[in-house]
A and B are shown apart, each in its own frame.
Chain A
């Protein structure tokens, strides 16, 4: 029995004792309840929804089910005081076995519990198999129960479809969902259909299905998550981000969703939004199953990016928050050397970004005392390179990236990240500025305005002087100009400088072939 209100706890305890329940434990907050579930295996959990500042009942349920500290066969009852369930239903990835509205009387609670316990007993053979992860057996028992007819048909169809989905049998799952939807519009079946379509990589259909769910039931949080995933798969990453943004505005406490949002926003380079999402994972994740070092580190990375080179009050406060977050991370994951190392590197960057050279050198020295550069794995290596750039040690950074490319370059995903650092080792605002100028330059080139294109690319190169694609673009414009307007020594010199700027890229780099091609073409022009 979980409630923050002692009188209420005692009164419910008294009631269930009156029903003959022998072993009753109480907890006055969600964390306490979760801890108790670690050491005991409860058959029934009664939990209040609204427990002040702590975890709410829905989060307790989520935590227990997610971590499997509560069995499928155990009953979770959510007690609510609101007339309508909107507030409660806000975050229901995991559904309680029943909602009971206050005021609760002994007689009505007993009726409710009797019904739930009878159902639990009847369905125990099936839920036991699910708890044992014996899904095929659970499926055949569900089918048997369905043949019997009776009141558990609905439960069986829903469970069966979920089991088919979990075992990857999308065809059967889809058939059940479609049959149910053919009779009546039922939200879980519609979401189930969307999930199946997503599983079958039928992304357009999934998007349409899930958009319909959200349109009709804006409080169905699960639908936003699947919709965002489907949009992401289609490369519609901005829409995916705004879908998740809507969901977290409605229900900010779901941590996996905030993590997903943080990752997406980072990909979309919306660092403010990413910081906000990671901030929420830290705030709401403490002491939960979702508390991960990456929550802290990603928040610090975003804050470091936001504060880099910004010496105003705003920049300073980002830097301060970053250092505080890193402090928390190193304390909470004291024994994890890798986390300590990553945290120190980010700390180095934060100091460097605030032009605090002494502090930045000091933490870099601690990094170097922890690990030798040639022993760095790929993740720590990239973090290190990023940090070296922030300290203006470009040569060391490039050397490190080259050795990482040699070791890990066969993985395209890793290579992309190495390239991104090599190409644009500057802060985010400048990255965005350089990209815009690059786009503008290309369009001027296409319109044949070669002089303007040259000026624009040159302006972009002031921001990211060693960006390979930019340098090579400018070389091409210059060669085209010389082709049509005749030889020009200043342009030739400029093209030569551009190619020198790109000489640092490793052979695995995607601009390498183009680079070689342009080098040979330029030497032809010169000769």
Chain B
């Protein structure tokens, strides 16, 4: 029996479980879309549908972060920086949450020059934006803005809302997990930790990407900013 007692490789088990869960999520989200289409129009904006979609997206974000953070520690998280059309990229992220934004009467604005190109790892940055958007959807009153622009050779992407803003501890040390993970708000600080690590992995000519948090912006709410060299 000794030879059978081989420990399973955790990375392999996790990768294949994540793979499987993502297939399930695909089916789940697609079924949801189909159901919404079959509903009479007055029921389409139902909050329950939006909640279903919101929670499924959150599970997806968690899966991305889970695998990502494991691989950060394993130092095997490679970034694949390629050229992307930023406005197309932002539109694709936002469209995932259309149902949710409509159901919660959130006004979502995207502001980006059509010709703006950026150099980044599409999947990793998409993971960060999705996580930030789901959080913004949770904390905003009724407005979210997603904008991207170039400043001094940096690609800057900002997400603004008109909620209450970030708690002070988070503003002081964005992306740091200081006293372990607070399980009440755990997901948020883990998300920011992941975001700051991914930003840092984007390097160019001696410069490293970074994230910033502030309260204020156009509407006085929270502002999440990621800058990539």
A150 CB-CB contact with B under 8 Å: yes
| Nearest CB of chain A from residue B187's CB, rounded to whole Å | 17
Instruction: Report yes or no: A102 in contact with B92, Cβ–Cβ below 8 A.
Output: no
Instruction: Report yes or no: A108 in contact with B96, Cβ–Cβ below 8 A.
Output: yes
Closest residue of chain B to A107 (Cβ to Cβ) is B95
B77 CB-CB contact with A under 8 Å: yes
A101 surroundings in chain B (CB, below 8 A): 22, 123, 126
| Nearest CB of chain A from residue B202's CB, rounded to whole Å | 12
B205 surroundings in chain A (CB, below 8 A): 184-185
A527 CB-CB contact with B under 8 Å: no
Instruction: Report yes or no: A102 in contact with B26, Cβ–Cβ below 8 A.
Output: yes
* Number of residues on chain A facing chain B (CB within 8 A): 36
A70 to B85, alpha carbons, bound, how many Å?
Answer: 25
A99 CB-CB contact with B under 8 Å: yes
Counting from the closest, the 4 A-B pairs by CB-CB distance are A103-B26, A103-B25, A107-B95, A115-B88
A11 surroundings in chain B (CB, below 8 A): 26-27, 30
A83 surroundings in chain B (CB, below 8 A): 18, 63-64, 67-68, 123, 127
A63 surroundings in chain B (CB, below 8 A): none
Closest residue of chain A to B95 (Cβ to Cβ) is A107
| Nearest CB of chain B from residue A515's CB, rounded to whole Å | 60
Instruction: Report yes or no: A106 in contact with B119, Cβ–Cβ below 8 A.
Output: no
Closest residue of chain B to A104 (Cβ to Cβ) is B26
B185 surroundings in chain A (CB, below 8 A): none
Closest residue of chain A to B113 (Cβ to Cβ) is A151
The interface stretch among A84-92, A289-297, A335-343, A414-422 is A84-92
B186 CB-CB contact with A under 8 Å: no
Closest residue of chain B to A153 (Cβ to Cβ) is B117
A150 to B30, alpha carbons, bound, how many Å?
Answer: 35
B25 surroundings in chain A (CB, below 8 A): 102-103
Instruction: Report yes or no: A151 in contact with B91, Cβ–Cβ below 8 A.
Output: no
A82, A85, A107, A185: which contacts B19 (Cβ < 8 A)? Answer: A82
| Nearest CB of chain B from residue A121's CB, rounded to whole Å | 14
A184 to B82, alpha carbons, bound, how many Å?
Answer: 11
* Residues in A lying within 8 Å of B, measured CB to CB: 5, 7-8, 11, 14-15, 50, 81-86, 89, 99, 101-108, 110-112, 115, 149-151, 153-154, 184-186, 219
A86-B78, A111-B92 known; A5 vs B15 contact (CB < 8 Å)? no
| Nearest CB of chain A from residue B3's CB, rounded to whole Å | 23
A-B contact pairs, 22 of them (CB 8 A): A8-B23, A11-B27, A14-B30, A14-B34, A15-B30, A81-B23, A82-B19, A83-B64, A86-B76, A101-B22, A104-B26, A105-B30, A106-B33, A107-B33, A107-B95, A108-B92, A111-B91, A115-B88, A115-B91, A149-B115, A151-B85, A186-B81
B60 CB-CB contact with A under 8 Å: yes
Residue-by-residue, is B88-106 near A (CB-CB < 8 Å gives 1, otherwise 0)?
Answer: 1001100110100000000
A85 to B80, alpha carbons, bound, how many Å?
Answer: 8
A14-B34, A50-B19 known; A89 vs B80 contact (CB < 8 Å)? yes
Closest residue of chain B to A118 (Cβ to Cβ) is B88
Instruction: Report yes or no: A106 in contact with B78, Cβ–Cβ below 8 A.
Output: no
B204 CB-CB contact with A under 8 Å: yes
Closest residue of chain B to A18 (Cβ to Cβ) is B37
A111 to B67, alpha carbons, bound, how many Å?
Answer: 26
A11 to B24, alpha carbons, bound, how many Å?
Answer: 12
Closest residue of chain A to B119 (Cβ to Cβ) is A184
Instruction: Give the residues from 56 to 92 in chain B that come closer than 8 angstroms, CB to CB, to chain A.
Output: 56, 60, 63-64, 67-68, 71, 76-78, 80-81, 83, 85, 88, 91-92
What 7 new A-B contacts, CB under 8 Å, besides A106-B33, A115-B88, A151-B114? Answer: A11-B27, A83-B63, A85-B80, A103-B22, A103-B60, A111-B88, A185-B204
B30 surroundings in chain A (CB, below 8 A): 11, 14-15, 103-106
A50 to B26, alpha carbons, bound, how many Å?
Answer: 15
B143 CB-CB contact with A under 8 Å: no
Instruction: Report yes or no: B23 in contact with A102, Cβ–Cβ below 8 A.
Output: yes
A104-B30, A151-B115 known; A84 vs B85 contact (CB < 8 Å)? no
A81 surroundings in chain B (CB, below 8 A): 18-19, 22-23
Closest residue of chain A to B116 (Cβ to Cβ) is A151
A14 surroundings in chain B (CB, below 8 A): 30, 34
| Nearest CB of chain A from residue B74's CB, rounded to whole Å | 11
| Nearest CB of chain A from residue B61's CB, rounded to whole Å | 11
A104-B30, A107-B98 known; A85 vs B123 contact (CB < 8 Å)? yes
Residue-by-residue, is B16-58 near A (CB-CB < 8 Å gives 1, otherwise 0)?
Answer: 0011001101111110011000000000000000000000100
Instruction: Report yes or no: B123 in contact with A105, Cβ–Cβ below 8 A.
Output: no
A524 to B49, alpha carbons, bound, how many Å?
Answer: 106
Closest residue of chain A to B59 (Cβ to Cβ) is A103
A104 to B29, alpha carbons, bound, how many Å?
Answer: 8
Instruction: Report yes or no: B92 in contact with A112, Cβ–Cβ below 8 A.
Output: yes
A83-B127, A219-B78 known; A8 vs B27 contact (CB < 8 Å)? yes
B116 surroundings in chain A (CB, below 8 A): 151
A8 surroundings in chain B (CB, below 8 A): 23, 26-27
Closest residue of chain A to B66 (Cβ to Cβ) is A83
A102 surroundings in chain B (CB, below 8 A): 22-23, 25-26
A106 surroundings in chain B (CB, below 8 A): 30, 33
Instruction: Report yes or no: B204 in contact with A184, Cβ–Cβ below 8 A.
Output: yes
A184 to B28, alpha carbons, bound, how many Å?
Answer: 41
Closest residue of chain A to B63 (Cβ to Cβ) is A83
Closest residue of chain A to B18 (Cβ to Cβ) is A83
A81 to B27, alpha carbons, bound, how many Å?
Answer: 13
Instruction: Report yes or no: B29 in contact with A103, Cβ–Cβ below 8 A.
Output: yes
Closest residue of chain B to A105 (Cβ to Cβ) is B29
B122 CB-CB contact with A under 8 Å: yes
A81 to B205, alpha carbons, bound, how many Å?
Answer: 32
Instruction: Report yes or no: B23 in contact with A5, Cβ–Cβ below 8 A.
Output: yes
B204 surroundings in chain A (CB, below 8 A): 184-185
Instruction: Report yes or no: A84 in contact with B96, Cβ–Cβ below 8 A.
Output: no
| Nearest CB of chain A from residue B225's CB, rounded to whole Å | 22
Instruction: Report yes or no: A107 in contact with B96, Cβ–Cβ below 8 A.
Output: yes
| Nearest CB of chain A from residue B11's CB, rounded to whole Å | 12
A310 to B123, alpha carbons, bound, how many Å?
Answer: 54
A160 to B163, alpha carbons, bound, how many Å?
Answer: 48
A7, A111, A154, A219: which contacts B95 (Cβ < 8 A)? Answer: A111
A101 to B123, alpha carbons, bound, how many Å?
Answer: 8
A112 surroundings in chain B (CB, below 8 A): 88, 92
Closest residue of chain A to B15 (Cβ to Cβ) is A82
Instruction: Report yes or no: A84 in contact with B95, Cβ–Cβ below 8 A.
Output: no
Q: Residue among A50, A149, A151 with the most chain B CB within 10 A?
A: A151
